[in-house]
């Protein structure tokens, strides 16, 4: 939305390049992780998810990697397009907590 | 399927007033969650409802409350508004089981003057 991310870290990439967005999560007991994309004026949109018993999951042009040892999550976007420009959030869920804990977000800018 | 619908889209209030925001979840979804989004604090969990029962609550003062109706629609209320309550309020729905993705609405942008 309009109020999102005035002081977010920004990743600037050339159209067609690959993008890697990183996230450190907070709780070693979290068992489910999600990446969301938020465009201006919209709510977060689901991109891809991964459970704690996996270390990699692939979708269409996106891959999520999970490293539980260092509590790190990454989102890889292949052949980045102008439509990928947005703020990206990682989120974690503790089993049975019914709530998402969001990271602080990264703004992705795609240069034409 | 229609997505999560939030009304109103924009709202302007003054300090001390109260406000009610509405959320209609995706058809068939029984869980509704509310989040507050601000530039300084990011996305923060407010509360979650399932079958008209609050299952989890975030660290917000008692001025923030919510409820869910039998048709799964939900409302949240903020009383005695403060300037710091200015934020984007997002509603999300899911079928209602743990460890599953949430689908978000576009939010209600609340400005407190």
Looking at residue B99, its pLDDT comes to 64
Looking at residue B68, its pLDDT comes to 97
Average pLDDT over residues B74-78: 98
Query: What is the residue whose two structure tokens read 């507050």?
Result: B36
Q: Outline where DSSP puts E strands in chain B.
A: 5-7, 10-13, 19-24, 31-38, 42-50, 53-57, 64-68, 74-78, 87-94, 103-104, 108-112
**What residues in A contact B105, CB-CB < 8 Å?**
43
Handedness of CA A74, A80, A83, A86 (dihedral sign): positive
Average pLDDT over residues B16-31: 96
Looking at residue A7, its pLDDT comes to 66
Q: pLDDT digits over B91-108, tens only?
A: 999 987 766 889 999 999
Buried b (16+ CB within 10 A) or exposed e, A12-46: ebeeeeebebebebeeeebbbbbbbbbeeeebbee
What is the C-alpha separation between A38 and B106, in angstroms, rounded? 10
Site from B102, B106, B112 to mutate, A interface, most A CB atoms within 10 angstroms: B102
Looking at residue B103, its pLDDT comes to 94
Split chain A (112 residues) into runs of 10 and give each run's mean pLDDT. Answer: 58 97 90 94 94 95 96 96 96 82 94 92
Average pLDDT over residues B61-89: 97
Q: Is A31 on the interface with B (CB under 8 A)?
A: yes
Site from B43, B96, B106 to mutate, A interface, most A CB atoms within 10 angstroms: B43
Looking at residue A5, its pLDDT comes to 46
What is the C-alpha separation between B90 and A39, in angstroms, rounded? 14
Average pLDDT over residues B6-31: 97
Q: pLDDT digits over B33-55, tens only?
A: 999 999 888 899 999 999 999 99
**What residues in B contact A104, CB-CB < 8 Å?**
42
Looking at residue A29, its pLDDT comes to 87
Rounded to the nearest angstrom, the minimum Cα separation between B12 and chain A is 14
Angle at B105 between CA A25 and CA A47, to 5 degrees: 45
Q: Taking 70 as the threshold, does the pLDDT of residue B31 lie above it?
A: yes
Which backbone phi and psi does B84 adopt, to 5 degrees?
-70, -5
Give the torsion through C-alpha atoms of B75, B77, B82, B86, to 10 deg: 0
């Amino acid at each position: 939305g309009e109020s999102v991310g005035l002081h977010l870290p920004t990743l600037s990439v050339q159209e067609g390049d690959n993008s890697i967005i990183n996230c450190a999560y907070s709780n070693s007991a979290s068992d489910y992780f999600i990446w969301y994309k938020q465009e201006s004026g919209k709510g977060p949109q689901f991109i891809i998810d991964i459970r704690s018993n996996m270390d990699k999951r692939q979708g269409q042009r996106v891959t999520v990697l999970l490293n539980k040892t260092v509590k790190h999550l990454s989102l890889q976007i292949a052949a980045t397009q102008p439509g990928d420009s947005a703020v990206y959030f990682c989120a974690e869920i503790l089993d049975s907590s019914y709530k998402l804990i969001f990271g602080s977000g990264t703004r992705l800018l795609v240069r034409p | 399927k229609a997505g999560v619908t939030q009304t109103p889209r924009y709202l302007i209030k003054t300090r001390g007033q109260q406000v009610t925001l509405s959320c209609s979840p995706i058809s068939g979804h029984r869980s509704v969650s509310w989040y507050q989004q601000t530039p300084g604090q990011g996305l923060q969990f407010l509360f979650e409802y399932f079958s008209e029962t609050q299952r989890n609550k975030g660290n917000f003062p008692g001025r923030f409350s919510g409820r869910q109706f039998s048709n799964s629609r939900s409302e949240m209320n903020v009383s005695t508004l403060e300037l710091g309550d200015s934020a984007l309020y997002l509603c999300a729905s899911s079928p209602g089981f743990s460890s599953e993705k949430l689908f978000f609405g576009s939010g209600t942008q609340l400005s407190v003057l």
